[in-house]
Structure 1
Amino acid sequence: MAYIRKIRQLVGHQPLIMTSASGALVNEQEAVLLQERADTGDWGFPGGYMEFGETFEQTVVREFKEDAGIAVEPQRLLKILDHDTYTYPNGDVVQPVNAFYLVRRTTARQYPIKPSETVRTRYFGLHESPHFFNQQHAEMWAVLKEYLTNR
């Protein structure tokens, strides 16, 4: 976050292209873990923006631990999403370029989550339709459903 804060101090709410990574953790019942976001109250896949020097894979591992309290490793890149824009409640405008991964839990240990980012986490069945944070997360949901149906 320090990297993004520094950029925003320089450019204010100007539109930025931001790189991010998100992950889909699927349990044995093929339900998907989502986070209820603290900033909007909507649902989304755990993930977030890269810090300078990180790879997409390192980002999804770090962000998943911060957002969901779970250590994961990427298993498969499902899609790069890059065509949406989003305006945050504070007025920041972004075009997020997101690497969306299928991830696997690496330990049963639960880590503390960042309450400034996550209210709670919950597994959703593929037939459910939570209210997503933005269009990109809704598209990731569709990508995951298609992948799980056709594998």
Structure 2
Amino acid sequence: MADYVRELRKLIGSQPVILCGAGVIIINSKGEILLQRRMDNDLWAVPGGAVELGETVEETAIREVFEETGLRVRNLKLLGIYSGEDTYCKYPNGDEVYWITMAFMSNEFDGCIRPDNYESKECKFFSIEELPENLFNIDRLVLNDYLKSIGE
């Protein structure tokens, strides 16, 4: 969890907040998509997280991908911006968030996949036909838009 969010939660508890986040759909040479299995709710998700104070959303996306997957991603392309009721999330610890999420795509990355075992317990490439059913709610929206963008 971001230091900013941690400090904010000390002040306001679990009540709903609006947070800005960024994530990246990482596509390998086979057209497969990298997803991470989250530690907090056991759902599959696009790597990403909350923007820290003073950080751009692109910097957030790059940092979060590296922290959660061990990969260094480059050449981000904006897929979409997601907000509103569909981005509401209540986490297992009771924290409530309405996310404003910038979703990017990239097929340029290097490094070795290694989940951080703090936010990610597993990272795996999935074919478009075999995406898991148990997806994080926001990422279901993002992945649907990605599939539309490539004509699937």
Please give the TM-score of this superposition, normalised by the length of structure 2. Answer: 0.91
Is 1:7 aligned with 2:8? yes
Structure 1 residue 25: deviation in Å?
A: 0.7
Q: What do the CA deviations read for 1:10-52 (whole angstroms, capped 9, x no partner)?
A: 0001100000000011112211000011111110000000110
Pair 1:103-2:106 in alignment: yes
Judged with a 3 Å threshold, the aligned counterparts in structure 2 of structure 1 residues 60 and 90 are, in CA distance, closer, same or farther, namely same
Structure 2, unpaired ranges of 5+: none
Tell me the residue number matched to 1:80: 81
SS of residue paired to 2:76: strand
Q: Identity of aligned pairs, percent?
A: 29
Q: What's 2:40 paired with?
A: 39
Post-superposition, which runs of at least 4 consecutive aligned residues in structure 1 deviate over 4 A?
none
1:135 and 2:129 equivalent?
no
Report the TM-score when normalising by structure 1. Answer: 0.92
Match 2:92 to one of 89, 92, 113: 89
Partner amino acid, structure 2, of 1:102: M
How many residues get paired?
Answer: 149
1:127 is paired with a residue whose SS is: helix
> Larger deviation: 13-22 or 75-84?
75-84
Answer yes or no: is the 8 Å Cα contact 1:23–1:103 preserved in 2. Answer: yes
The farther-off stretch of 112-121 and 93-102 is: 112-121
Secondary structure at 1:59 match in 2? helix
Is the 1:65–1:111 Cα contact (8 Å) retained in structure 2? no
In structure 1, list runs of 5 or more residues that go unmatched: none
Q: Is the contact between residue 29 and residue 107 of structure 2 (CA under 8 Å) also seen in structure 1?
A: no
Query: What is the CA deviation profile of residues 96-150 of structure 1, one whole-angstrom value per residue up to 9, with x for unaligned ones?
Result: 100000023343x327542110111111111123134432110111011111227
Distance 1:4 1:72 in 2: 24
